Amino acid sequence: MGRLVVISNRIPGHGTRGGNGGGLAVGLNAALAKRPSLWLGWSGEVAETPPPPERRHSRRTEIVGVALTPALHAGFYANFANSILWPLFHYRLGLVEYRRADYAAYLEANEWIASALMNELRPDDTIWVHDYHLIPLAKVLRARGVTNPIGYFLHIPFPATEVFRCLPVYRELVEAMAHYDLVGFQTESDRIQFVDVLGAPEKRAGDTIEMFGRVFQTGVFPIGIDTSAFAAFAAKPSVDGERLAANLGDRKLAIGVDRLDYSKGLPNRVAAYGEFLERNPDWRGKVQYLQIAPISRGEVSNYRALRRELDGAAGRINGKYADFDWTPLRYVNRGFPRGTLAAFYRRARVGLVTPLRDGMNLVAKEFVAAQPPDDPGVLILSEFAGAAVELSGALTINPYDIDAIADALQRALEMPLDERVSRWRADFDVVSTNTAAFWAESFLSALAATRPA
Protein backbone atom coordinates (compact mmCIF):
# COMPACT_ATOMS: atom_id res chain seq x y z
CA MET A 1 0.00 0.00 0.00
CA GLY A 2 1.41 3.40 -1.01
CA ARG A 3 1.63 6.07 1.64
CA LEU A 4 -0.83 8.86 2.23
CA VAL A 5 1.12 12.12 2.25
CA VAL A 6 -0.74 14.96 3.96
CA ILE A 7 0.44 18.53 3.47
CA SER A 8 -1.05 21.28 5.58
CA ASN A 9 0.10 24.65 6.81
CA ARG A 10 0.67 23.38 10.36
CA ILE A 11 1.73 19.91 11.39
CA PRO A 12 -0.23 18.30 14.26
CA GLY A 13 0.88 18.68 17.83
CA HIS A 14 1.27 22.44 17.84
CA GLY A 15 -2.20 23.30 19.17
CA THR A 16 -2.31 26.58 21.02
CA ARG A 17 -5.79 26.08 22.43
CA GLY A 18 -5.01 24.09 25.53
CA GLY A 19 -5.62 20.40 25.05
CA ASN A 20 -4.68 18.57 21.91
CA GLY A 21 -6.15 21.17 19.54
CA GLY A 22 -5.63 20.57 15.83
CA GLY A 23 -9.05 20.09 14.22
CA LEU A 24 -7.44 18.66 11.09
CA ALA A 25 -5.55 16.05 13.11
CA VAL A 26 -8.84 14.93 14.65
CA GLY A 27 -10.46 14.81 11.20
CA LEU A 28 -7.65 12.76 9.66
CA ASN A 29 -7.05 10.46 12.61
CA ALA A 30 -8.97 7.47 11.27
CA ALA A 31 -7.54 7.78 7.75
CA LEU A 32 -3.97 8.03 9.08
CA ALA A 33 -4.41 5.03 11.36
CA LYS A 34 -5.36 2.83 8.39
CA ARG A 35 -2.25 3.23 6.27
CA PRO A 36 1.40 4.27 6.46
CA SER A 37 1.58 8.01 6.10
CA LEU A 38 3.67 11.13 6.13
CA TRP A 39 2.48 14.56 7.26
CA LEU A 40 4.51 17.57 6.23
CA GLY A 41 3.95 21.24 7.03
CA TRP A 42 5.26 24.28 8.84
CA SER A 43 6.69 23.35 12.24
CA GLY A 44 5.70 26.68 13.78
CA GLU A 45 9.37 27.70 13.98
CA VAL A 46 10.59 30.97 12.47
CA ALA A 47 14.36 31.28 11.98
CA GLU A 48 16.65 33.48 9.89
CA THR A 49 18.55 30.35 8.88
CA PRO A 50 15.98 27.55 9.01
CA PRO A 51 17.35 24.34 10.54
CA PRO A 52 16.82 20.99 8.78
CA PRO A 53 13.23 19.71 9.06
CA GLU A 54 12.23 18.26 12.44
CA ARG A 55 10.94 14.70 12.46
CA ARG A 56 8.83 12.60 14.77
CA HIS A 57 6.48 9.66 14.63
CA SER A 58 2.93 9.29 15.82
CA ARG A 59 1.68 5.74 15.36
CA ARG A 60 1.89 4.99 11.60
CA THR A 61 2.56 8.62 10.65
CA GLU A 62 5.93 10.24 10.16
CA ILE A 63 5.62 13.96 10.86
CA VAL A 64 8.03 16.37 9.17
CA GLY A 65 8.07 20.00 10.26
CA VAL A 66 9.66 22.72 8.15
CA ALA A 67 10.71 26.09 9.59
CA LEU A 68 10.06 29.43 7.84
CA THR A 69 12.24 32.50 7.58
CA PRO A 70 10.85 35.68 9.21
CA ALA A 71 10.30 37.19 5.74
CA LEU A 72 8.30 34.18 4.53
CA HIS A 73 6.37 33.99 7.77
CA ALA A 74 5.31 37.62 7.44
CA GLY A 75 4.64 37.71 3.69
CA PHE A 76 3.14 34.26 3.22
CA TYR A 77 1.43 33.45 6.50
CA ALA A 78 0.49 36.68 8.26
CA ASN A 79 -0.11 38.70 5.08
CA PHE A 80 -1.11 36.72 1.99
CA ALA A 81 -2.81 33.80 3.73
CA ASN A 82 -4.36 35.53 6.71
CA SER A 83 -4.78 39.17 5.65
CA ILE A 84 -5.73 38.57 2.01
CA LEU A 85 -7.08 35.08 1.29
CA TRP A 86 -8.83 34.55 4.63
CA PRO A 87 -10.87 37.80 4.60
CA LEU A 88 -11.53 37.53 0.84
CA PHE A 89 -12.82 33.95 1.03
CA HIS A 90 -15.00 35.01 3.99
CA TYR A 91 -16.52 37.89 2.00
CA ARG A 92 -14.74 40.62 4.00
CA LEU A 93 -13.37 42.68 1.15
CA GLY A 94 -12.86 45.71 3.37
CA LEU A 95 -10.27 43.81 5.39
CA VAL A 96 -8.19 42.66 2.42
CA GLU A 97 -4.74 44.30 2.31
CA TYR A 98 -3.31 43.22 -1.04
CA ARG A 99 0.38 43.68 -1.84
CA ARG A 100 2.25 42.06 -4.73
CA ALA A 101 5.23 41.32 -2.52
CA ASP A 102 3.03 39.15 -0.31
CA TYR A 103 1.89 37.09 -3.27
CA ALA A 104 5.56 36.58 -4.18
CA ALA A 105 6.19 35.37 -0.62
CA TYR A 106 3.19 33.05 -0.88
CA LEU A 107 4.60 31.45 -4.04
CA GLU A 108 8.04 31.27 -2.48
CA ALA A 109 6.69 29.53 0.62
CA ASN A 110 4.94 26.98 -1.60
CA GLU A 111 8.24 26.38 -3.41
CA TRP A 112 9.93 25.97 -0.04
CA ILE A 113 7.38 23.38 1.14
CA ALA A 114 7.65 21.62 -2.24
CA SER A 115 11.44 21.39 -1.90
CA ALA A 116 11.08 19.76 1.51
CA LEU A 117 8.50 17.36 0.10
CA MET A 118 10.67 16.36 -2.88
CA ASN A 119 13.20 14.90 -0.42
CA GLU A 120 10.52 12.65 1.06
CA LEU A 121 8.33 11.65 -1.85
CA ARG A 122 8.04 8.07 -3.20
CA PRO A 123 6.54 7.11 -6.55
CA ASP A 124 3.49 5.33 -5.09
CA ASP A 125 2.53 8.07 -2.59
CA THR A 126 -0.88 9.71 -2.76
CA ILE A 127 -0.68 13.41 -1.86
CA TRP A 128 -3.48 15.28 -0.08
CA VAL A 129 -3.00 19.05 0.23
CA HIS A 130 -5.10 21.07 2.67
CA ASP A 131 -6.41 24.59 2.64
CA TYR A 132 -5.84 28.08 1.37
CA HIS A 133 -2.18 28.39 2.35
CA LEU A 134 -1.15 25.85 -0.27
CA ILE A 135 -3.29 26.46 -3.36
CA PRO A 136 -0.27 26.60 -5.76
CA LEU A 137 1.46 23.50 -4.37
CA ALA A 138 0.35 21.00 -7.04
CA LYS A 139 1.43 23.34 -9.83
CA VAL A 140 4.83 23.74 -8.20
CA LEU A 141 5.17 19.97 -7.78
CA ARG A 142 4.08 19.24 -11.36
CA ALA A 143 6.72 21.69 -12.61
CA ARG A 144 9.24 19.57 -10.73
CA GLY A 145 8.07 16.43 -12.49
CA VAL A 146 5.77 14.96 -9.83
CA THR A 147 3.16 12.71 -11.43
CA ASN A 148 1.62 11.24 -8.25
CA PRO A 149 -2.10 11.69 -7.62
CA ILE A 150 -2.60 15.00 -5.80
CA GLY A 151 -5.87 15.99 -4.13
CA TYR A 152 -6.80 19.32 -2.62
CA PHE A 153 -9.40 20.13 0.00
CA LEU A 154 -10.53 23.69 0.74
CA HIS A 155 -11.65 23.97 4.37
CA ILE A 156 -13.01 27.50 4.03
CA PRO A 157 -15.77 28.81 1.75
CA PHE A 158 -15.10 29.45 -1.93
CA PRO A 159 -16.30 33.01 -2.64
CA ALA A 160 -18.70 34.20 -5.29
CA THR A 161 -17.01 35.17 -8.58
CA GLU A 162 -17.49 38.93 -8.20
CA VAL A 163 -15.82 38.78 -4.78
CA PHE A 164 -12.99 36.51 -5.92
CA ARG A 165 -12.27 38.71 -8.93
CA CYS A 166 -11.20 41.50 -6.59
CA LEU A 167 -8.03 39.55 -5.94
CA PRO A 168 -5.62 40.74 -8.66
CA VAL A 169 -4.08 37.26 -8.96
CA TYR A 170 -7.33 35.30 -8.82
CA ARG A 171 -6.85 33.84 -12.28
CA GLU A 172 -3.43 32.48 -11.38
CA LEU A 173 -4.85 30.76 -8.32
CA VAL A 174 -7.67 29.19 -10.29
CA GLU A 175 -5.22 28.00 -12.92
CA ALA A 176 -3.04 26.51 -10.16
CA MET A 177 -6.03 24.57 -8.82
CA ALA A 178 -6.35 22.79 -12.15
CA HIS A 179 -3.07 20.99 -11.41
CA TYR A 180 -4.73 18.82 -8.78
CA ASP A 181 -6.49 15.60 -9.76
CA LEU A 182 -9.33 16.30 -7.36
CA VAL A 183 -10.44 19.61 -5.84
CA GLY A 184 -12.80 19.12 -2.88
CA PHE A 185 -15.15 21.60 -1.20
CA GLN A 186 -17.29 21.60 1.94
CA THR A 187 -20.59 22.33 0.17
CA GLU A 188 -22.10 22.17 -3.29
CA SER A 189 -22.47 25.94 -3.36
CA ASP A 190 -18.70 26.33 -2.83
CA ARG A 191 -18.10 23.90 -5.69
CA ILE A 192 -20.53 25.68 -7.99
CA GLN A 193 -18.86 29.01 -7.27
CA PHE A 194 -15.50 27.56 -8.17
CA VAL A 195 -16.87 26.23 -11.45
CA ASP A 196 -18.46 29.62 -12.08
CA VAL A 197 -15.19 31.50 -11.68
CA LEU A 198 -13.56 29.22 -14.24
CA GLY A 199 -15.69 30.93 -16.87
CA ALA A 200 -16.23 28.50 -19.70
CA PRO A 201 -14.33 25.25 -19.21
CA GLU A 202 -13.63 23.54 -22.47
CA LYS A 203 -15.47 20.50 -21.24
CA ARG A 204 -17.61 19.89 -18.25
CA ALA A 205 -19.09 16.43 -17.79
CA GLY A 206 -20.56 15.89 -14.34
CA ASP A 207 -17.84 16.92 -11.89
CA THR A 208 -15.01 16.58 -14.43
CA ILE A 209 -13.45 19.73 -15.85
CA GLU A 210 -11.08 20.17 -18.74
CA MET A 211 -9.27 23.48 -18.76
CA PHE A 212 -5.82 25.03 -18.86
CA GLY A 213 -4.67 21.88 -20.68
CA ARG A 214 -5.60 19.71 -17.70
CA VAL A 215 -8.43 17.37 -16.77
CA PHE A 216 -9.45 17.30 -13.13
CA GLN A 217 -12.35 16.42 -10.87
CA THR A 218 -14.29 18.50 -8.39
CA GLY A 219 -16.30 17.14 -5.50
CA VAL A 220 -18.16 17.93 -2.28
CA PHE A 221 -16.97 16.38 0.97
CA PRO A 222 -18.48 17.93 4.10
CA ILE A 223 -16.00 17.40 6.94
CA GLY A 224 -17.25 15.67 10.09
CA ILE A 225 -16.07 14.70 13.54
CA ASP A 226 -15.50 11.42 15.38
CA THR A 227 -19.04 11.53 16.68
CA SER A 228 -19.21 8.42 18.83
CA ALA A 229 -15.87 9.19 20.47
CA PHE A 230 -16.92 12.79 21.13
CA ALA A 231 -20.29 11.70 22.54
CA ALA A 232 -18.57 9.21 24.86
CA PHE A 233 -16.07 11.88 25.87
CA ALA A 234 -18.86 14.31 26.74
CA ALA A 235 -20.65 11.72 28.89
CA LYS A 236 -17.56 11.01 30.99
CA PRO A 237 -17.38 12.53 34.48
CA SER A 238 -15.61 15.89 34.31
CA VAL A 239 -14.38 17.92 37.23
CA ASP A 240 -14.69 21.16 35.26
CA GLY A 241 -18.14 20.14 34.03
CA GLU A 242 -19.29 19.56 37.60
CA ARG A 243 -17.85 22.88 38.71
CA LEU A 244 -19.68 24.63 35.92
CA ALA A 245 -22.95 22.85 36.79
CA ALA A 246 -22.59 23.76 40.48
CA ASN A 247 -21.91 27.35 39.52
CA LEU A 248 -24.94 27.50 37.23
CA GLY A 249 -27.42 26.14 39.74
CA ASP A 250 -30.86 26.44 38.09
CA ARG A 251 -29.66 28.83 35.41
CA LYS A 252 -29.70 27.76 31.78
CA LEU A 253 -26.40 27.85 29.94
CA ALA A 254 -25.88 29.25 26.44
CA ILE A 255 -22.43 28.46 25.08
CA GLY A 256 -20.25 29.70 22.22
CA VAL A 257 -16.81 28.27 21.37
CA ASP A 258 -14.87 29.99 18.59
CA ARG A 259 -11.37 31.01 17.70
CA LEU A 260 -11.33 34.77 18.19
CA ASP A 261 -11.88 35.46 14.49
CA TYR A 262 -14.00 38.06 12.70
CA SER A 263 -15.59 35.36 10.52
CA LYS A 264 -17.26 33.88 13.59
CA GLY A 265 -19.74 36.73 14.04
CA LEU A 266 -18.99 37.35 17.72
CA PRO A 267 -19.89 41.06 17.92
CA ASN A 268 -23.36 40.39 16.48
CA ARG A 269 -23.83 37.42 18.78
CA VAL A 270 -22.93 39.43 21.87
CA ALA A 271 -25.18 42.27 20.71
CA ALA A 272 -28.02 39.78 20.22
CA TYR A 273 -27.57 38.49 23.75
CA GLY A 274 -27.80 42.07 25.02
CA GLU A 275 -30.95 42.57 22.95
CA PHE A 276 -32.42 39.35 24.36
CA LEU A 277 -31.79 40.50 27.95
CA GLU A 278 -33.25 43.91 27.17
CA ARG A 279 -36.45 42.41 25.79
CA ASN A 280 -36.81 39.62 28.34
CA PRO A 281 -36.46 40.95 31.87
CA ASP A 282 -37.87 37.62 33.15
CA TRP A 283 -34.83 35.80 31.87
CA ARG A 284 -32.38 38.08 33.67
CA GLY A 285 -30.63 36.09 36.38
CA LYS A 286 -31.87 32.83 34.85
CA VAL A 287 -29.54 32.45 31.92
CA GLN A 288 -25.77 32.42 31.65
CA TYR A 289 -23.86 32.92 28.41
CA LEU A 290 -20.37 31.46 28.36
CA GLN A 291 -18.26 32.52 25.39
CA ILE A 292 -14.95 30.72 25.02
CA ALA A 293 -12.79 32.55 22.47
CA PRO A 294 -9.11 31.61 22.47
CA ILE A 295 -6.90 34.25 20.88
CA SER A 296 -5.97 33.41 17.32
CA ARG A 297 -3.55 35.07 14.87
CA GLY A 298 -2.70 37.73 17.43
CA GLU A 299 0.01 39.01 15.07
CA VAL A 300 -2.60 40.25 12.55
CA SER A 301 -3.91 43.74 13.32
CA ASN A 302 -7.56 43.06 12.46
CA TYR A 303 -7.60 40.35 15.10
CA ARG A 304 -6.30 42.70 17.76
CA ALA A 305 -9.00 45.23 16.82
CA LEU A 306 -11.69 42.54 17.14
CA ARG A 307 -10.43 41.65 20.59
CA ARG A 308 -10.71 45.26 21.75
CA GLU A 309 -14.21 45.51 20.29
CA LEU A 310 -15.39 42.40 22.10
CA ASP A 311 -13.78 43.35 25.40
CA GLY A 312 -15.82 46.56 25.24
CA ALA A 313 -19.07 44.88 24.21
CA ALA A 314 -18.85 42.20 26.92
CA GLY A 315 -18.03 44.83 29.53
CA ARG A 316 -21.05 46.93 28.51
CA ILE A 317 -23.48 44.00 28.84
CA ASN A 318 -22.13 43.01 32.23
CA GLY A 319 -22.07 46.65 33.34
CA LYS A 320 -25.69 47.10 32.36
CA TYR A 321 -27.29 43.85 33.54
CA ALA A 322 -25.03 42.16 36.13
CA ASP A 323 -26.23 41.75 39.69
CA PHE A 324 -24.28 41.05 42.85
CA ASP A 325 -24.88 37.31 42.34
CA TRP A 326 -25.08 37.07 38.53
CA THR A 327 -22.71 37.80 35.68
CA PRO A 328 -24.75 37.59 32.46
CA LEU A 329 -21.79 36.99 30.13
CA ARG A 330 -18.63 35.10 30.90
CA TYR A 331 -16.17 35.87 28.15
CA VAL A 332 -12.98 33.82 28.34
CA ASN A 333 -10.02 34.37 26.03
CA ARG A 334 -8.28 31.08 26.58
CA GLY A 335 -8.52 27.54 25.32
CA PHE A 336 -9.67 24.49 27.28
CA PRO A 337 -8.87 20.79 26.87
CA ARG A 338 -11.25 18.97 24.53
CA GLY A 339 -12.73 16.93 27.39
CA THR A 340 -13.65 20.10 29.25
CA LEU A 341 -15.24 21.61 26.15
CA ALA A 342 -17.26 18.43 25.58
CA ALA A 343 -18.49 18.50 29.20
CA PHE A 344 -19.44 22.19 28.85
CA TYR A 345 -21.38 21.58 25.61
CA ARG A 346 -23.29 18.78 27.31
CA ARG A 347 -24.45 21.06 30.10
CA ALA A 348 -25.62 23.81 27.75
CA ARG A 349 -29.26 24.37 26.85
CA VAL A 350 -28.25 26.45 23.83
CA GLY A 351 -25.28 26.25 21.45
CA LEU A 352 -24.59 29.54 19.66
CA VAL A 353 -22.85 29.09 16.30
CA THR A 354 -23.43 32.30 14.36
CA PRO A 355 -20.53 32.87 11.93
CA LEU A 356 -20.90 35.45 9.16
CA ARG A 357 -19.27 32.82 6.89
CA ASP A 358 -17.76 29.45 7.73
CA GLY A 359 -16.56 26.60 5.55
CA MET A 360 -18.19 24.03 7.79
CA ASN A 361 -17.94 24.78 11.55
CA LEU A 362 -17.07 21.75 13.62
CA VAL A 363 -18.22 23.33 16.88
CA ALA A 364 -21.81 22.94 15.63
CA LYS A 365 -21.24 19.21 15.11
CA GLU A 366 -19.44 18.78 18.42
CA PHE A 367 -22.30 20.50 20.23
CA VAL A 368 -24.79 18.06 18.69
CA ALA A 369 -22.60 15.03 19.47
CA ALA A 370 -22.21 16.07 23.11
CA GLN A 371 -25.89 16.39 24.02
CA PRO A 372 -27.63 14.05 26.47
CA PRO A 373 -30.25 12.19 24.35
CA ASP A 374 -32.99 12.50 26.98
CA ASP A 375 -32.55 16.25 27.54
CA PRO A 376 -30.70 17.77 24.60
CA GLY A 377 -29.86 21.41 24.08
CA VAL A 378 -30.78 23.45 21.00
CA LEU A 379 -28.34 24.55 18.33
CA ILE A 380 -28.69 28.07 16.91
CA LEU A 381 -26.85 28.01 13.60
CA SER A 382 -25.93 30.57 10.98
CA GLU A 383 -27.28 29.90 7.51
CA PHE A 384 -23.82 30.88 6.24
CA ALA A 385 -21.99 28.01 7.95
CA GLY A 386 -21.42 24.97 5.74
CA ALA A 387 -22.88 22.89 8.59
CA ALA A 388 -26.31 24.44 7.96
CA VAL A 389 -26.67 22.27 4.84
CA GLU A 390 -26.68 19.13 6.99
CA LEU A 391 -28.03 20.26 10.37
CA SER A 392 -31.67 20.87 9.55
CA GLY A 393 -32.72 20.36 13.19
CA ALA A 394 -30.97 23.57 14.25
CA LEU A 395 -32.69 26.93 14.57
CA THR A 396 -31.22 28.65 11.52
CA ILE A 397 -30.58 32.39 11.65
CA ASN A 398 -29.10 35.09 9.46
CA PRO A 399 -26.13 36.27 11.55
CA TYR A 400 -26.51 39.85 10.28
CA ASP A 401 -29.98 39.96 11.85
CA ILE A 402 -29.40 40.68 15.53
CA ASP A 403 -33.13 40.63 16.31
CA ALA A 404 -33.42 37.20 14.71
CA ILE A 405 -30.62 35.82 16.88
CA ALA A 406 -32.28 37.30 19.99
CA ASP A 407 -35.61 35.70 18.95
CA ALA A 408 -33.94 32.34 18.37
CA LEU A 409 -32.31 32.52 21.79
CA GLN A 410 -35.67 32.99 23.44
CA ARG A 411 -37.22 30.23 21.37
CA ALA A 412 -34.39 27.83 22.19
CA LEU A 413 -34.53 28.56 25.92
CA GLU A 414 -38.29 28.05 26.00
CA MET A 415 -38.50 25.07 23.61
CA PRO A 416 -40.45 22.08 24.96
CA LEU A 417 -38.56 18.84 25.53
CA ASP A 418 -40.25 16.84 22.75
CA GLU A 419 -39.29 19.42 20.11
CA ARG A 420 -35.74 19.60 21.45
CA VAL A 421 -35.45 15.82 21.23
CA SER A 422 -36.81 15.54 17.69
CA ARG A 423 -34.62 18.36 16.37
CA TRP A 424 -31.53 16.97 18.07
CA ARG A 425 -32.23 13.41 16.86
CA ALA A 426 -32.30 14.55 13.23
CA ASP A 427 -28.96 16.31 13.61
CA PHE A 428 -27.36 13.53 15.64
CA ASP A 429 -28.22 11.01 12.91
CA VAL A 430 -26.51 13.21 10.33
CA VAL A 431 -23.33 13.77 12.34
CA SER A 432 -23.21 10.05 13.15
CA THR A 433 -23.26 9.21 9.43
CA ASN A 434 -21.11 12.01 7.99
CA THR A 435 -18.17 11.46 10.31
CA ALA A 436 -14.53 12.49 9.94
CA ALA A 437 -13.61 8.95 8.88
CA PHE A 438 -16.35 9.00 6.23
CA TRP A 439 -15.13 12.38 4.97
CA ALA A 440 -11.52 11.26 4.59
CA GLU A 441 -12.35 7.91 3.00
CA SER A 442 -14.82 9.48 0.54
CA PHE A 443 -12.21 12.01 -0.50
CA LEU A 444 -9.45 9.42 -0.86
CA SER A 445 -11.59 7.02 -2.87
CA ALA A 446 -12.68 9.85 -5.19
CA LEU A 447 -9.00 10.76 -5.59
CA ALA A 448 -8.08 7.14 -6.35
CA ALA A 449 -10.89 7.00 -8.91
CA THR A 450 -9.28 9.86 -10.87
CA ARG A 451 -6.52 7.40 -11.84
CA PRO A 452 -8.28 4.18 -12.78
CA ALA A 453 -5.83 1.27 -12.82
Using the rule CB under 6 A, is 423 a contact of ligand GDG? Answer: no
3-class secondary structure, 330 = strand
Choose the stretch contacting ligand GDG; rule: CB under 6 A; options: 58-66, 140-148, 353-361, 373-381.
353-361
**Closer by beta carbon to ligand GDG, 19 or else 298:** 19
DSSP letter string over 398-436? -TT-HHHHHHHHHHHHH--HHHHHHHHHHHHHHHHHS-H
Smallest CA-to-CA distance from 427 within 386, 381, 394 is with: 394
Smallest CA-to-CA distance from 108 within 67, 64, 140 is with: 140
Amino acid letter, 191 = R
Integer Cα distance of 453 and 449 in angstroms: 9
Using the rule CB under 6 A, is 366 a contact of ligand GDG? Answer: yes
**Closer by beta carbon to ligand GDG, 156 or else 421:** 156
Contact pattern from residue 253 through residue 292 relative to ligand GDG, giving x for each residue in contact according to CB under 6 A and a dash for the rest: ----x-x--------------------------------x
Within 8 A by CB and 6+ apart from 127, the residues are 5, 7, 117, 121, 138, 141, 146, 148, 149, 150, 151
**Closer by beta carbon to ligand GDG, 221 or else 321:** 221
Using the rule CB under 6 A, is 191 a contact of ligand GDG? Answer: no
**Closer by beta carbon to ligand GDG, 140 or else 264:** 264
b/e 260-290 (16+ beta carbons within 10 angstroms → b) = bbbbbbbbbbbbbbbbbbeebeebebebbbb
| 349 DSSP 8-state letter | S
**Closer by beta carbon to ligand GDG, 31 or else 257:** 257
Choose the stretch contacting ligand GDG; rule: CB under 6 A; options: 3-11, 19-27, 322-330, 416-424.
19-27
Q: Which residues form the catalytic set?
A: 155, 358
- Pick left, alpha or beta for residue 264 (phi over 0 → left; psi -120 to 50 → alpha; otherwise beta): alpha
The correct pick among 361, 382, 434, 435 for binding ligand GDG (CB under 6 A) is 361
For the CB of residue 262, give the shortest distance to ligand GDG in the complex, in Å: 11
Choose the stretch contacting ligand GDG; rule: CB under 6 A; options: 167-175, 356-364, 367-375, 421-429.
356-364
Using the rule CB under 6 A, is 18 a contact of ligand GDG? Answer: yes
Using the rule CB under 6 A, is 23 a contact of ligand GDG? Answer: yes
For the CB of residue 264, give the shortest distance to ligand GDG in the complex, in Å: 8
Using the rule CB under 6 A, is 336 a contact of ligand GDG? Answer: yes
Using the rule CB under 6 A, is 156 a contact of ligand GDG? Answer: yes
Amino acid letter, 11 = I
The correct pick among 12, 87, 151, 335 for binding ligand GDG (CB under 6 A) is 335
- Residues 121, 154 contacting (CB under 8 angstroms): no
Using the rule CB under 6 A, is 359 a contact of ligand GDG? Answer: yes
Amino acid letter, 53 = P
For the CB of residue 308, give the shortest distance to ligand GDG in the complex, in Å: 20
The site for ligand GDG, by CB under 6 A, has a size of: 24
Smallest CA-to-CA distance from 352 within 248, 267, 230, 231 is with: 267
**Closer by beta carbon to ligand GDG, 413 or else 447:** 447
Within 8 A by CB and 6+ apart from 268, the residues are 354, 356, 399, 400, 402, 405
Which secondary-structure segment (H or E) carries 89? Answer: helix 86-89
Q: Point out which residues bind ligand GDG (CB under 6 A).
A: 17-19, 21, 23, 155-156, 223, 257, 259, 292, 294, 335-338, 341, 358-363, 366
